[in-house]
Amino acid sequence: MSGAMTPLSIRPPVHLTRDLRDHDHVVARIGALRAQGFHDGEIARHLTAEGFRSARSSTVLPSLVKRVRQAEGVVSLTAQFRSQEKREGCWTTWGLARA
C-alpha cells in the first residue's frame, strides 16, 4: 500500500428544504431581504450567492422563496402594490385605475 488518499466530499441527499441544517437561517435571510424590498427572484439570487442551496439543487430557486414566504404568511410585493392606491405619495396602477 502506498498510503495515497483521495479526498472526497459528498452531500447526502435531502428531500425537503426544511431538513437542511441551515433552514432556519434561510428563512431569516428571506425575511430580511424581503424587508429590504427585494422580490422573490432577487432574494433567490442573493441566497445562492451567499452559499445557500435548496434540497435538490445547488441554487435557491424563486419557487422556494415563494413557498417559504407563503408559509410565513407574508404577502408578495406585487400583491401589496395591488392592494394600495398610493405608495410613497405616487399612484399605483391599481389605484389609478380605480380612481
For the record, the C-alpha cell of 69 comes out as 414566504
Across 8-12, 59-63, 77-81, which has the greatest mean pLDDT?
A: 59-63
The answer to whether 45 and 29 have CB atoms below 8 angstroms apart is no
- What is the band of 43 on the pLDDT scale with cuts at 50, 70, 90? very high
Is it the case that residue 87 has pLDDT exceeding 80?
no
DSSP code, position 72:
T
pLDDT band at 1 (very low <50, low <70, confident <90, very high): low
CA angle 75, 55, 20 (to 5 degrees): 85
